[in-house]
Every structure is written in C-alpha cells, then in structure tokens.
Structure 1
Amino acid sequence: MSNYYKIAIALAVSTFAIGTTEFVPVGMLTDIAQDMHVSTGMIGLLVTGYAIAQAIGAPIATSFVGRIARRQLFAWFMMAFAVLNLLSAIAPTYGILLGTRALTAVVHGVFFATASVYLTKLAPVDKKGEAASWLFGGLTVATVFGVPFGTYLGEAVGWRATFAVVGLLGVFGWLGVITQVPKTAAPLVTDNQLAGIITVIRHPKISLTLLMATLGFGSSFVLYTYIRPYLQQVTGVSTAGVVGVLALYGAFVTVGNVIGGRLANRQALGVIAGILVAQIVVQLLQLLLLPRPGWYLVGIALLGLVAFMGNASLQSRIIMTTTELAPAHTDVASALNVSALNFGIAGGSFVGNAVMSYAGLQMLPLVGAVIGGVAVLVVALLRRIN
C-alpha cells in the first residue's frame, strides 16, 4: 500500500470521529432535551449551533494556522477534539454543552479544511477529484456505524456515554496521525491569510460555488435533522427501529460517497447539477414514501444515496479553482467550503424547525426540494459565467 493511501486512511479515521460527534445528536435529541430540561427545538441547536460555529470560526481559525507543519497541526487538533468531547460528556448545563460543541466545531472545520488540501496535493494526478472523498468517507462511515451506535449507546446508558466514547475515537484519530502522517517542514506562507478570505470570495466562480454548496447541502438537512421525530410521529417507527433506520441511511450515504468520489474526478459542473436534480427528485418522493409502512425504508435509502454524493465534487472544485485563481489561499478556500456546507446544515436545520413548528413534519421534504431547486438555478448562473 502506497504512503498516500496510508495517510488517506489515517485522516479518514479522524473524520470518522468528527462525523460521529457532528451528527450523533440527531439520534439523541429527545434524550438530551429531557435531561437538560429544554425543548427538542432548543436541543436542535446542538446541530445548528455546531454548524454555525464551524461555518464562522473555521475560515478565521484556518487563516492563523498556515505556518504550522501539517502533522503537528493535525495531531494538536485531534487531541483537542478528544478533550472537548470528554468535556461535553460531563457538561452540567445546556449552555456549557453548547459551548463545548461550538469549540469542537471549529476544531472540526480547521482539520477538515487543511486535511482536504493536504491530501489533494498528495494525490496522483488522476485521483485529485476523489481525494476529498476519503475525508467525506470518514464522515459517511460515521453515519453507518458511529451515529447508530451512538444512538443505541445513548438509549442504553445515556447520551453522556456517547460523547465520552467519541472522545476516545478522537484519541484513535490522533494515533493515526502521529503514526502515518510524515514529518514535513511548515508551509511557506507569505500572503495575509485572513485577508485571503476576502480575496477568495471576490471571485464569482468561487463565491457562487460556495452558495451552491450551502443550498444543495442544506436542502437535505431540512428533513434529516428531524428524521427521528418524523419517523416516530408520522411513520410510527419505534425507538429501537430508528437505530436500524439510521444505519440503513448511513449505509447508502457510504455508497453515494463512493460514487460521488469517482464522479469528482471528472471535474465537471454538469456532474454537480445532475446530483442536485437527483436530490430534488428524491426529496419529492419522500412525500409518498416516508409516511408509508415498509416503503419508508426505500425513502430512507434514497435519501442516504444522494445526501453526500456531491460533496467531493464541491470540495475538489473549490480547491482546484482556487489553485488557479488564488493559489496562496487554498487552505482558506477549503475552509470556506466547509463553512458553506455547514451554513447549509444550520440553515436547513433552522428552516426545518420552523416548518416542523408551523406546517408540520410532513412538509419537510417539499421545502427541502424547493431549496434544492434554488441551488440548480445557481448552477445555471455559474455555467453562464464560465
């Protein structure tokens, strides 16, 4: 096995831990809400707030780490990730839990952004597009095993145990980094990286791609953030059954990520447009499938298949476009794409909460499809600019 693949696997182990902590509250919303004596909507902020903290904090924090050697940076941040999750496990109040989650989110964003650029630079020429899919692969495997297991553990022992176990996963990620990522000199950085945020977003090709990422990813989270209450209250799935449904979702997310990684090598805007259209169709199908016994499993599988399929293409497009237009700021641009995806999560979760409160759970897929339609319009505008 080449060094590239060893490094890719080591970084994917870290993003597995990261993906687990990001999404595991989705399966424990009710339990955390009861323990903290707040509403399910407020606990939903553990997902939304995480995304907002990552979206705002990651680009700023990334601009200050450009001169740190990558192995050292990755090791520091995975250890910080482990400690913060352990602090989440013992958080005595909702406010402290929200705070530790916010700090974890910034660590997550910086790690993912810098690791994406690092791995893309290491990848063979014909594999540049799928390099990011290794990191997204860690996230998607987390939805297969990490999130369902975390949900099960939360039900059996308590949600605090889940965060403690995620902290342990962070230690495994740290071990992977220090054993597989080689020591290298710190990157040579000459430009002002904080000002690079403005430099990057001033390019229409980059800023429109970021908007497309926000809308496209956010459309999925209108429904996904509240999939547990939907399944329990509308479909009639038991608490134990939800764990199995989340595992099914995660399995198809993994399949979709593999397909998306292969498609990303084409570096084609048409690929992203096709995936967005597929997401819209799948969202509309949920209006028929999710409320029906048995058929809801088909709906969940389709949701998982398309949910992350476009992420590798988006991340790769940002890195390659920035390499062409603003090569000194690829780390910051990568962080901005992570921010765009997380603004999508935050926005989708926020819209989903409003829809759930005022129109009902069954309207969530329709609203998600509408947001996906706006993303397709952005693709059309980006094509005209190209």
Structure 2
Amino acid sequence: MPLALYLLALAVFAMGTSEFMLAGLVPDIASDLGVTLGTAGLLTSAFALGMTIGAPLMAALSRRRPGRSSLLCFLLLFAAAHAVGATVSGFPVLCATRVVAALANAGFLAVALTTAATLVPPDRKGRALAVLLSGTTAATVAGVPAGALLGTLLGWRATFWAVAALCLPAALGILRGVPAPASTRGASGGLRGELAQLRRPRLLLVMLLGALVNAATFASFTFLAPVVTGVAGLGELWVSVALVLFGAGSFFGVSAAGRLADRRPGLVLAAGGPLLLVGWPALALLAHRPVALLALVFTQGALSFALGGTLITRVLYEAAQAPTMAGSYATAALNVGAATGPLVAAAALTGGLGDTGPLWASGALIAVALAVAIPVRAVRAAG
C-alpha cells in the first residue's frame, strides 16, 4: 500500500480520537457545564449531524481543488475548532465548535476516501479503505483511551487541547507525503451527473444499511462509560480499558473484513449480521459481570467495524460513477448513523431501561437493518 495512505490514516487517527473520545468524557462534560448526561451525549449527535451535512457540501465545494490543499485546510480548521472548544464555558458554544469540527472532519474524510480509492488498483478499494479506517480503529485503541485517561487526570479540556496538537504533525505529514498528482481531484463529468447516482436503489440501500449498523455502534459506544462504572460497578479507569478493548476489536474487524470486502462482501454481511444482532442484547444482559462485559465489548467492536467497513466499501463500489463525490456519500452514510444512534440511545436511557438502554437500542437498530436486508436480498445485491 502507498505511503500516502498511511499518512492519511494518521490524520484520520486524530479525527477519530475526537469523534469517539466523548464516550469517556460525557459524564465530566455534563458535570462541568451543568447539563444532564443525556444532553451531554447529544454532542456526539451534533458532531455526526455536522459531518452528515458537511460531507457532500464540502466535497462539492472542493471537488475542483487539489486534494492535498483541501486536506490541509480541513485538518487545520479541525484543529482550530478544538482549541476554541477547550476554552468555552457554555454548552451551546461547545456544541457549535463540535459542528465546525464536524464540517472540517467531513470534508477531510470525503476527500480522503476518494483519494484513497485513486491510490490503488480498482479491485483493491476494500484494502485501501481498511488502511484508512485503521486510523479510526487505532484511535479507539490508543487515542480515545488516552484521552479518557487524560480527561480523568487533568479534565476534559486537556483532551481537546491534545487533539488540536495531534493535528499538527498529521498536517506536516500530508504536506510532505501525499503526492499532489495522485491527490488531484479533477472531476470527470459534472456535479449534477454525480449527484444523480443517488437515485440508484442499490446505492441508497447500501448507504441505509451502513447508517443503521453505525447507528447501533454509536448508540452503545457513546454511553459505554455509564455501563462500565454503573452497571458493572467498575472504577473510572476501567472505562479506558473497555475503550481499548472495543478499539482492539474494531481494528481486528476492519482489518479482517478489508481483505473480504472486495471479493466476498456477502459472506461478511451474512455471517456478521446475525452475530451482531445477538451480541448487543447479550451485552445488556451480562453487563453486570465485568469479565463478560469486557469480552463482549471486544467482540461487538470487531463485528461492528467489520460490517460497517464492508458496507462503506460497497458504497464506493456502487458510486464508482461519482468519482469526486463517492467519498462524501460514504461519509454521509456513516454519520447519519452516528447522529441517529445517540438520539435513540438517549431516549432509551431515559425511557425506563436504565444504563443498559443504549445496548438494547443497538440491538433494535441491527434488527431493523436485518429486516430491511433480508426481504430484498441486500446481501446478494451488495456482492
């Protein structure tokens, strides 16, 4: 794989740390800013909503610009948003900085996904995407737990500062390592033609399934800290352990699925979907047992990212006739799910199900995905 892919993954690592780090910081943010736990959890939805809107918007605005300069602009804007977020004293302003950061993240990821697909042969998009997404999974293994630990020791604001600082070496790496010719985003055909691809039922179906799987992932991941400290009765430092295990499972899942996403996507979806459906209720029922909790966190991380990564790879294949916008469609699908999941989880959290409510919500979302996929033979269509 080209070196440029790994440099893009480094930047995705910084952004993934920010996107996922709230799972370990929600209780502290809620306490510091005087809002409820459910309200603080909506920061994740605000971020995902900004990414959903920003992915196609930013991709459209930057489609005629060289990929390298677009990537640098988005990354530096992302860093600035976190520096401002670290200094705010009110929840609405913090929420606004998350939206700005999300717009920058969306633009970056949309350009990066499209760039990654151009750096490899057409039949290796799945592997290229696995490398790129390894930045996200590495964030859950190292960046997010480190952020949670830093937040525990120095407060949540220190984590925001750390993310801003992490963007700087990533920007330097992109400037020196991403070749301008390979990243140039000269469009073939007009924007209207690329947007017309969204009328294709198969593309929309795969995007819907990807959104549902990611919604399930974020529904539980956003509120994992209360499960660890409340239901399982473990100390706050065990939140970092749980996040590491989830991230390790994610890394394993996306890496394994990356080799199958190009050739055997139906196998990944047909085998992983039912297992993921069983896993979320099992986690809810066994969350009070620390050993079972930690084991299932690893398993669900692996299955979630294996399915999610495979479905997003299929988006790139199905949107092959939209070369500059395909990455934005994949990003939008991911973040429709990331925005919806915490909203559903927050409702379950306050609806009488207690701290395990988000886990049950994740199971329900996967059940909806399977209910959509099975009657229309979506697995076979994706293959």
Q: TM-score, normalised by structure 2?
A: 0.93
Q: Summarize the Cα distance change of 1:196–1:273 in structure 2 as closer, same or farther, 3 Å threshold.
A: farther
Contact 2:38 2:349 (C-alpha < 8 Å) held by counterparts = no
Partner of 1:87: 84
Alignment check: 8 A CA contact 1:290 1:300 kept: no
Partner of residue 364, structure 2? 370
Task: Give the one of 235, 238, 241 matched to 1:238.
Answer: 235
What is the rounded CA distance, in whole Å, between the counterparts of 1:357 and 1:102 in structure 2? 25
1:150-176 deviations in Å (ceiling 9; x for gaps): 011111111111111101111111011
Deviation digits for residues 271-309 of structure 1 (CA, Å, limit 9, x no counterpart)? 223322221121132133222132222121212221211
Query: Given that residues 130 and 316 in structure 1 are in contact (C-alpha distance below 8 angstroms), is that contact kept between their aligned partners in structure 2?
Result: no
Contact persistence 1:147–1:246 (CA under 8 A): yes
- In the alignment, is the contact (CA less than 8 A) between 1:144 and 1:251 conserved in 2? yes
| 2:290 is the alignment partner of 1:296 | no
In 1, Cα distance between equivalents of 2:89 and 2:359: 36
**Once the two structures are superposed, what CA deviation does each residue of 1:219-261 show, in whole Å capped at 9, x if it has no partner?**
2222221111122111111112212221122112111111121
Residue 187 of structure 1 aligns to which amino acid in structure 2? R
Alpha-carbon contact 2:16-2:139 (below 8 Å) kept: yes
Shift of 1:186: 4.2
What's the counterpart of residue 31 of structure 1? 28
CA 1:197 to 1:371, structure 2 compared with 1: closer, same or farther past 3 Å? Answer: farther
Equivalent pair of 2:269/2:379 in contact (CA under 8 Å): no
1:368 alignment partner AA: S
Check whether the contact 1:213–1:340 (CA below 8 A) recurs between aligned residues: yes
Contact 2:187 2:323 in 1 (8 A): no
Aligned residue number for residue 168 of structure 2: 171
Matched, 1:148 2:145: yes
SS in 2 for 1:294: helix
Does the CA-based 8 Å contact 1:315-1:334 persist in structure 2? Answer: no
| Structure-1 residue corresponding to 2:347 | 354
Cα distance in 1 for residues equivalent to 2:379 and 2:13: 34
- What is the Cα-based RMSD across aligned positions, in Å? 1.9
> Equivalent of 1:226, from 223, 226, 230?
223
Over 3 Å counting, the alpha-carbon distance change for 1:268 and 1:255 in structure 2 is closer
- Residue ranges of structure 1 left out of the alignment (5+ in a row): none
1:336 aligns with 2:329: yes
**Residue by residue, what CA displacement relative to the aligned partner does 1:45-91 show, whole Å, maximum 9, x if unpaired?**
11111001111121122111100111111112111121111111112
Structure 2 CA distance for partners of 1:196 and 1:103, relative to 1, 3 Å: farther
Asked if 1 retains the 8 angstrom alpha-carbon contact of 2:68 and 2:184, the reply is no
Amino acid at match of 1:302: T
Residue in 1 aligned with 2:102? 105
Map of 1:19 onto structure 2: 16
Deviations 1:207-227 (A, max 9, x none): 111111111111222222111
Judge conservation of contact 2:114–2:325 (CA < 8 Å) in 1.
no
Measure how far apart 1:192 and its partner are.
Answer: 4.3
Aligned partner letter, 1:365: L
Q: Give the aligned residue type for 1:375.
A: A
Could you tell me which of 313, 318, 342 is aligned with 2:315? 318
State the partner residue of 2:373. 379
Cα–Cα, structure 1 residues 168 and 220, in superposed 2: closer, same or farther, change >3 Å? same
In 1, are the aligned partners of 2:257 and 2:268 still within 8 Å (CA)? no
Distance in 2 of aligned mates of 1:384 and 1:267? 10
Distance (Å, rounded) in 2 between the aligned partners of 1:107 and 1:60: 11
> Which runs of 5 or more residues in structure 2 are unaligned?
none
SS in 2 for 1:247: helix
How many residues of Structure 1 are paired with residues of Structure 2 in the alignment? 378
Q: 1:196, 1:332 within 8 Å by CA — same for their partners in 2?
A: no
1:41 aligns with 2:34: no
Task: Measure, in 2, the Cα distance between the counterparts of 1:131 and 1:312.
Answer: 11
Identical columns (%): 30
Aligned partners of 2:22 and 2:29: how far apart in 1?
Answer: 8
User: What is residue 119 of structure 2 aligned with on the other side?
Assistant: 122
> CA separation of 1:139/1:204 partners in 2, compared to 1, >3 Å: closer, same or farther?
same
From 279, 284, 299, the equivalent of 1:282 is: 279
Superposition deviation, residue 379 in structure 1: 2.4
Partner SS for 1:73: helix
